[in-house]
Amino acid sequence: MRIHREGFPFIAGFAIATVVLFLIWRPLGWVGVVATVWCVWFFRDPDRVTPRRAGTLVSAADGVVCAIVSASPPPELGLSPEPRVRVSVFLNIFDVHVNRVPADGTITALNYRPGKFINASFDKASEDNERMAIAMRLADGRDVAFVQIAGLIARRIKCDLKVGQTVEAGERFGIIRFGSRTDMYLPAGYTPSVTVGQRVFGGETVVADIEGMPSAAVGGVRP
Protein backbone atom coordinates (compact mmCIF):
# COMPACT_ATOMS: atom_id res chain seq x y z
CA MET A 1 0.00 0.00 0.00
CA ARG A 2 1.39 3.36 -1.03
CA ILE A 3 1.81 5.89 1.81
CA HIS A 4 1.87 9.63 1.18
CA ARG A 5 5.23 11.16 2.09
CA GLU A 6 3.57 13.61 4.49
CA GLY A 7 2.60 10.65 6.66
CA PHE A 8 6.02 9.18 7.43
CA PRO A 9 6.94 11.61 10.28
CA PHE A 10 3.56 10.98 11.92
CA ILE A 11 3.79 7.22 11.54
CA ALA A 12 7.30 7.27 13.04
CA GLY A 13 6.06 9.39 15.94
CA PHE A 14 3.15 7.04 16.63
CA ALA A 15 5.48 4.03 16.50
CA ILE A 16 7.95 5.58 18.95
CA ALA A 17 5.12 6.52 21.29
CA THR A 18 3.86 2.94 21.11
CA VAL A 19 7.24 1.58 22.23
CA VAL A 20 7.23 4.00 25.16
CA LEU A 21 3.69 3.00 26.10
CA PHE A 22 4.68 -0.69 26.12
CA LEU A 23 7.51 0.16 28.50
CA ILE A 24 5.11 2.01 30.79
CA TRP A 25 2.22 -0.47 30.75
CA ARG A 26 1.56 -3.23 28.21
CA PRO A 27 -2.19 -2.52 27.71
CA LEU A 28 -1.32 1.07 26.80
CA GLY A 29 1.13 -0.27 24.27
CA TRP A 30 -1.66 -2.11 22.45
CA VAL A 31 -3.63 1.14 22.34
CA GLY A 32 -0.57 2.64 20.67
CA VAL A 33 -0.50 -0.20 18.15
CA VAL A 34 -4.11 0.51 17.16
CA ALA A 35 -3.33 4.23 16.86
CA THR A 36 -0.26 3.54 14.71
CA VAL A 37 -2.23 1.25 12.39
CA TRP A 38 -4.87 3.97 12.04
CA CYS A 39 -2.15 6.53 11.22
CA VAL A 40 -0.79 4.30 8.47
CA TRP A 41 -4.33 3.81 7.13
CA PHE A 42 -5.02 7.55 7.22
CA PHE A 43 -2.03 8.39 5.03
CA ARG A 44 -2.71 5.70 2.43
CA ASP A 45 -2.48 6.88 -1.15
CA PRO A 46 -4.28 4.41 -3.46
CA ASP A 47 -4.16 4.48 -7.25
CA ARG A 48 -7.38 5.51 -8.96
CA VAL A 49 -8.85 4.92 -12.43
CA THR A 50 -9.71 8.38 -13.76
CA PRO A 51 -12.40 8.86 -16.45
CA ARG A 52 -10.83 10.54 -19.49
CA ARG A 53 -13.86 12.14 -21.13
CA ALA A 54 -13.91 15.81 -22.12
CA GLY A 55 -16.51 17.90 -20.35
CA THR A 56 -16.36 16.14 -16.99
CA LEU A 57 -14.97 17.06 -13.58
CA VAL A 58 -13.88 14.37 -11.14
CA SER A 59 -13.94 14.71 -7.37
CA ALA A 60 -10.93 16.39 -5.77
CA ALA A 61 -11.27 14.23 -2.66
CA ASP A 62 -12.76 11.13 -1.07
CA GLY A 63 -15.71 11.67 1.23
CA VAL A 64 -19.42 12.43 1.32
CA VAL A 65 -21.11 15.23 -0.61
CA CYS A 66 -22.35 17.47 2.20
CA ALA A 67 -23.76 20.38 0.18
CA ILE A 68 -24.63 21.51 -3.34
CA VAL A 69 -25.42 25.22 -3.32
CA SER A 70 -25.03 28.41 -5.33
CA ALA A 71 -22.10 30.52 -4.09
CA SER A 72 -19.46 32.97 -5.31
CA PRO A 73 -15.93 31.58 -5.65
CA PRO A 74 -13.27 32.78 -3.16
CA PRO A 75 -12.61 36.47 -3.97
CA GLU A 76 -8.85 36.04 -3.56
CA LEU A 77 -8.73 34.04 -6.83
CA GLY A 78 -9.78 37.04 -8.92
CA LEU A 79 -12.58 35.18 -10.69
CA SER A 80 -15.98 36.65 -11.51
CA PRO A 81 -18.06 37.05 -8.32
CA GLU A 82 -21.13 35.72 -10.11
CA PRO A 83 -22.51 32.77 -8.09
CA ARG A 84 -21.74 29.27 -9.34
CA VAL A 85 -22.80 25.80 -8.29
CA ARG A 86 -20.56 24.71 -5.41
CA VAL A 87 -20.15 21.01 -4.63
CA SER A 88 -18.73 20.38 -1.15
CA VAL A 89 -17.21 17.09 0.03
CA PHE A 90 -16.63 16.34 3.71
CA LEU A 91 -13.72 14.05 4.64
CA ASN A 92 -13.77 12.23 7.97
CA ILE A 93 -10.68 10.83 9.72
CA PHE A 94 -11.05 7.47 7.96
CA ASP A 95 -11.17 8.79 4.38
CA VAL A 96 -8.22 9.05 2.01
CA HIS A 97 -6.98 12.64 2.39
CA VAL A 98 -4.85 12.89 -0.75
CA ASN A 99 -6.36 15.51 -3.08
CA ARG A 100 -6.60 15.18 -6.86
CA VAL A 101 -6.99 17.56 -9.79
CA PRO A 102 -10.58 17.54 -11.15
CA ALA A 103 -9.77 18.00 -14.87
CA ASP A 104 -7.05 18.68 -17.42
CA GLY A 105 -5.98 22.31 -17.40
CA THR A 106 -3.53 25.01 -16.33
CA ILE A 107 -3.28 26.47 -12.82
CA THR A 108 -3.95 30.22 -12.99
CA ALA A 109 -4.11 31.26 -9.33
CA LEU A 110 -3.25 29.99 -5.85
CA ASN A 111 -4.08 31.72 -2.59
CA TYR A 112 -3.65 30.56 1.00
CA ARG A 113 -5.81 32.22 3.63
CA PRO A 114 -5.53 31.58 7.39
CA GLY A 115 -8.74 31.18 9.31
CA LYS A 116 -10.69 29.24 11.90
CA PHE A 117 -10.93 25.48 12.47
CA ILE A 118 -14.66 24.94 12.93
CA ASN A 119 -16.27 21.63 11.98
CA ALA A 120 -15.72 21.25 8.21
CA SER A 121 -19.19 19.75 7.73
CA PHE A 122 -20.75 23.14 8.57
CA ASP A 123 -21.56 25.36 5.59
CA LYS A 124 -19.81 28.36 7.14
CA ALA A 125 -16.50 26.46 7.00
CA SER A 126 -16.23 27.51 3.34
CA GLU A 127 -16.04 31.15 4.43
CA ASP A 128 -14.42 31.05 7.87
CA ASN A 129 -11.89 28.22 7.92
CA GLU A 130 -8.26 28.14 6.89
CA ARG A 131 -8.09 27.32 3.19
CA MET A 132 -6.02 26.99 0.03
CA ALA A 133 -7.96 28.21 -3.00
CA ILE A 134 -6.97 27.16 -6.52
CA ALA A 135 -8.17 28.41 -9.91
CA MET A 136 -7.63 26.42 -13.10
CA ARG A 137 -8.27 27.20 -16.78
CA LEU A 138 -9.79 24.30 -18.71
CA ALA A 139 -8.98 23.49 -22.33
CA ASP A 140 -12.25 25.11 -23.46
CA GLY A 141 -11.32 28.39 -21.76
CA ARG A 142 -13.65 28.04 -18.78
CA ASP A 143 -12.41 28.40 -15.21
CA VAL A 144 -12.96 26.01 -12.32
CA ALA A 145 -12.08 26.72 -8.70
CA PHE A 146 -11.40 24.11 -6.03
CA VAL A 147 -10.53 24.69 -2.41
CA GLN A 148 -8.79 22.69 0.32
CA ILE A 149 -10.40 23.58 3.67
CA ALA A 150 -9.09 22.74 7.13
CA GLY A 151 -11.50 21.32 9.69
CA LEU A 152 -11.97 20.85 13.41
CA ILE A 153 -9.08 18.37 13.61
CA ALA A 154 -7.17 19.20 10.42
CA ARG A 155 -4.46 21.79 11.02
CA ARG A 156 -2.26 21.42 7.98
CA ILE A 157 -3.00 21.96 4.29
CA LYS A 158 -0.38 20.84 1.80
CA CYS A 159 -0.60 21.95 -1.84
CA ASP A 160 2.12 21.11 -4.37
CA LEU A 161 0.72 23.13 -7.31
CA LYS A 162 2.33 26.18 -8.92
CA VAL A 163 0.83 28.96 -11.04
CA GLY A 164 1.31 28.15 -14.73
CA GLN A 165 1.58 24.41 -14.10
CA THR A 166 -0.18 22.11 -16.58
CA VAL A 167 -2.05 19.31 -14.82
CA GLU A 168 -4.19 16.31 -15.74
CA ALA A 169 -7.42 14.96 -14.30
CA GLY A 170 -6.79 12.65 -11.36
CA GLU A 171 -3.25 13.91 -10.73
CA ARG A 172 -2.33 14.16 -7.05
CA PHE A 173 -1.78 17.74 -5.92
CA GLY A 174 -1.78 17.77 -2.12
CA ILE A 175 -3.19 16.50 1.14
CA ILE A 176 -5.15 17.79 4.12
CA ARG A 177 -4.13 16.20 7.37
CA PHE A 178 -7.07 14.74 9.33
CA GLY A 179 -10.76 15.77 9.10
CA SER A 180 -11.41 18.37 6.40
CA ARG A 181 -13.42 19.50 3.37
CA THR A 182 -13.03 20.34 -0.31
CA ASP A 183 -15.21 22.71 -2.33
CA MET A 184 -15.49 22.78 -6.12
CA TYR A 185 -16.99 25.79 -7.93
CA LEU A 186 -18.30 24.57 -11.28
CA PRO A 187 -17.79 26.46 -14.56
CA ALA A 188 -20.81 27.80 -16.42
CA GLY A 189 -22.61 25.04 -18.33
CA TYR A 190 -21.62 22.25 -15.95
CA THR A 191 -24.23 20.50 -13.83
CA PRO A 192 -23.67 18.25 -10.80
CA SER A 193 -23.87 14.51 -11.40
CA VAL A 194 -23.85 13.68 -7.68
CA THR A 195 -26.33 14.23 -4.85
CA VAL A 196 -26.03 15.29 -1.22
CA GLY A 197 -25.16 12.29 0.93
CA GLN A 198 -23.41 10.42 -1.89
CA ARG A 199 -19.94 8.97 -1.26
CA VAL A 200 -17.35 10.00 -3.83
CA PHE A 201 -13.77 8.98 -4.56
CA GLY A 202 -11.04 11.46 -5.47
CA GLY A 203 -9.83 11.27 -9.04
CA GLU A 204 -12.47 8.70 -9.92
CA THR A 205 -16.06 9.83 -9.29
CA VAL A 206 -17.47 12.24 -11.88
CA VAL A 207 -19.08 15.06 -9.90
CA ALA A 208 -20.11 17.35 -12.77
CA ASP A 209 -20.69 17.20 -16.50
CA ILE A 210 -21.43 19.50 -19.42
CA GLU A 211 -25.07 19.08 -20.41
CA GLY A 212 -25.57 16.94 -23.48
CA MET A 213 -22.13 15.31 -23.49
CA PRO A 214 -22.05 11.73 -24.87
CA SER A 215 -21.65 8.95 -22.32
CA ALA A 216 -18.68 7.14 -23.93
CA ALA A 217 -15.50 7.38 -21.85
CA VAL A 218 -12.13 5.78 -21.37
CA GLY A 219 -10.15 5.61 -18.14
CA GLY A 220 -6.67 5.05 -16.85
CA VAL A 221 -4.74 4.77 -13.61
CA ARG A 222 -3.09 8.05 -12.74
CA PRO A 223 0.40 7.35 -11.27
Do 100 and 128 have their domain in common? Answer: yes
Query: Does 38 share its domain with 73?
Result: no
Domain containing residue 138: 51-205
pLDDT computed for residue 171 by the predictor:
96
Residues 105 and 179 in one domain: yes
Residues 32 and 85 in one domain: no
- Segment 45-56 shows an average pLDDT of 90
Give the pLDDT confidence score for residue 213 in this predicted structure: 55
- Asked if the structure places residue 176 within a domain, the reply is yes
* 139/193 same-domain check: yes
Q: Which residues are catalytic?
A: 180
pLDDT higher for 5 or 145? 145
Q: What's the structural domain count of the chain?
A: 2
Asked, for residue 191, whether it belongs to a domain, the answer is yes
Share of the chain above pLDDT 70, in %: 89
> Does 37 share its domain with 130?
no
pLDDT digits (tens, 9 = 90+) for 107-123: 999 999 887 766 666 77
> Residue 60's pLDDT is what?
97
Q: Is residue 121 part of a domain?
A: yes
Q: Indicate if 201 and 110 belong to the same structural domain.
A: yes
Higher pLDDT, 178 or 105: 105
Domain-located, residue 218: no
In order of 9, 75, 141, 175, the CA distances from 81 in angstroms are 40, 7, 17, 27
pLDDT in tens, 157-214: 899 999 999 999 999 999 987 768 999 999 999 999 999 999 999 999 999 998 755 5
Q: How much is the average pLDDT of 128-140?
A: 92
In the predicted model, what is the mean pLDDT of residues 117-133?
76
164 three-state secondary structure:
coil
CATH number at residue 73: 2.70.70
- Residues 31 and 60 grouped into a single domain: no
Asked whether residue 14 falls in the same domain as residue 60, the answer is no
pLDDT bin (cut points 50, 70, 90) of residue 151 is confident
In this prediction the pTM is: 0.86
User: Is-contact 137 143, C-beta < 8 A?
Assistant: yes
Q: What is the pLDDT of residue 17?
A: 95
Q: Give the full edge-to-edge strand order of the sheet including 166-167.
A: 166-167, 105-113, 131-138, 143-150, 180-185, 84-91, 63-71, 199-200
C-alpha 123/C-alpha 146 separation (Å) is: 15
**Whether residue 101 sits in one domain with residue 58:** yes
User: Is the residue at 189 inside a domain?
Assistant: yes
- pLDDT band at residue 129 under the 50/70/90 scheme: confident
